[in-house]
Chain A
Amino acid sequence: MSGFGALLARDLRLVWRRPGDVMVVLAFFVVATVLFPLGIGPESNLLARIAAGILWCAALFAALLSLDRLFAADHEDGALDLLLLAPWPLELAALAKCLAHWIVTGLPLAALAPLMGVAFGLSGEGLGALCLTLLVGTPTLSLVGGLAAALTLGARRGGALLALLALPLCVPTLIFGAGAVEAVAMGEGFATHLAILGALALMALATLPWAIAAALRQAGE
């Protein structure tokens, strides 16, 4: 387990040394969401109705934006070989990398989204639902994106391929995440949505670290 903690701490420290990479992702999220009201026009009813979908999609794109560096950096400087040769399971290393990604993107996105939601005229309850569903849903995005990043390691145009692989797999999370906020707007509870998002995250957690590790071993050969 100490290797897991060491890798997590290393990745967080690397982000801390170069905060620009995370700032770009968060700035992309803000700019992308602001574009929609500009394009659609200031019709507050319409904006409030589609806010959840827009914010969730923007969060998904923002998370993907930073994923192509997740394993590529280690692949390029040779650190991936050292992870492959570490005397503890590579599955834990995959999990540590995805957890680090979630901490520096999923977590701030979940905190930032309600602020953007205010601009869209979401209700207080809707803002709460948005923040909670992002908290529960973004780990799935980090894990699914991690798999796509591992599979596209070393591929030319890996970034575009990564998005193509990861986006379809993120559809269930997107549907239930945005659906929860809409359910709140309709005056219904969103406990079911949250439970399904949690189930999706747990399913990803129980399977994807093994798939990512297998893809990394393949890339190392």
Chain B
Amino acid sequence: MTPVLLEAAGLSCRRAGRLVFDGLSFGLAGGELLALTGRNGSGKTTLLRALALLAPTAAGRILWQGEDVGHDRESWRRRIAWLGHLDGLKGDLGVRENLAVAARLRDEPSDRIDGALAAFELGPLARREVRTLSAGQRRRVALARVASSHAPLWLLDEPLNALDAPSQGALGGVLARHLAAGGLAIAATHAPIEVAGARALELGR
């Protein structure tokens, strides 16, 4: 049994004065993926933002290896790779350039970029400006950005958005490799992600 790395204890979040979820608890060990499911507005994005400390929590604690993550925010941010519902890419920069800039902004080496580009079949597009790409191609670039980071915890908001079937397969492969290397992932999703080590957490029941 691998030890639990990430633990949420009694999390509650408010959005616009309304409690979106209350007393939410879960634990996640290395090699596990937590798929957040639930209706629109059930708080999947809010939970992801709360875990990243982008949104405040009304109650509860988020622990990493038993330590409250709010105590050392910079170390916590170093452990997170983020994919929001927006891609976070610069249209005027090239595909590879976007990934290189993102790595420098995260103060990380750029040694995983080529592998990540290859995994999402972006090699031939590496020099194209991102604004000339389709929505699905841009999503793949954003996913490659996550895959090229050295962070152990991936927080993914609707990663399958706009992806075609082969790209969904590529994402499954990348996630499987990340989990096999001891990484963790939490993904808000409507469609099931088929990877070994995936568990589901339904919000808003």
Contact = CB atoms under 8 A, between A and B. Distances in A.
B106 A78 contact: no
Nearest to B86: A78
A156 interface: no
A77 B78 contact: no
Interface stretch (A81-89, A100-108, A136-144, A192-200): A81-89
Contacts of B105: 3, 6-7, 10, 82-83, 86
Given A2-B107, A7-B105, A84 B88 contact: no
Nearest to B94: A17
Nearest to A84: B54
Interface string B69-83: 000001101101010
A79 B87 CA distance: 8
Nearest to A79: B88
B60 interface: no
Contacts of B84: 78, 81
A77 B75 CA distance: 25
A81 B88 contact: yes
A49 to B, nearest CB: 44
B82 to A, nearest CB: 5
Interface in B80-124: 80, 82, 84-93, 101-102, 104-107
Interface in A1-34: 2-3, 6-7, 10, 13-14, 17-18
Nearest to A220: B54
Interface residues of B, number: 27
A78 B55 contact: no
A188 interface: no
Given A81-B54, A81-B82, A84-B54, A6 B101 contact: yes
A3 B87 contact: no
Interface in B46-72: 49, 52, 54-56
A104 B199 CA distance: 50
A87 B101 contact: no
A6 B107 CA distance: 9
Interface string A140-157: 000000000000000000
The DSSP consensus for interface residues of chain B is loop
A87 B78 contact: yes
Contacts of B49: 221
Contacts of B91: 77
A83 B89 CA distance: 12
Interface residues of A, number: 24
Contacts of A10: 90, 93, 101, 105
- Counting chain A CB atoms within 10 Å of each CB, the highest count among B52, B75, B88, B105 belongs to B105
Nearest to B73: A87
Contacts of A78: 84-89
Contacts of B54: 81, 84-85, 220-221
Contacts of B92: 14, 17-18
Given A17-B92, A82-B102, A221 B86 contact: no
A84 B53 CA distance: 9
Given A2-B104, A17-B92, A221 B56 contact: yes
Nearest to A2: B107
A124 to B, nearest CB: 41
Contacts of A87: 74-75, 77-78, 106-107
Contacts of A82: 82, 88, 102, 105-106
A18 B91 CA distance: 11
Interface string A88-121: 1100000000000000000000000000000000
Interface of B: 49, 52, 54-56, 74-75, 77-78, 80, 82, 84-93, 101-102, 104-107
21 contacts: A3-B104, A3-B105, A3-B107, A7-B105, A10-B93, A14-B93, A76-B86, A77-B86, A77-B87, A77-B89, A77-B91, A78-B86, A79-B88, A82-B82, A83-B105, A85-B52, A86-B105, A86-B107, A87-B74, A89-B74, A221-B55
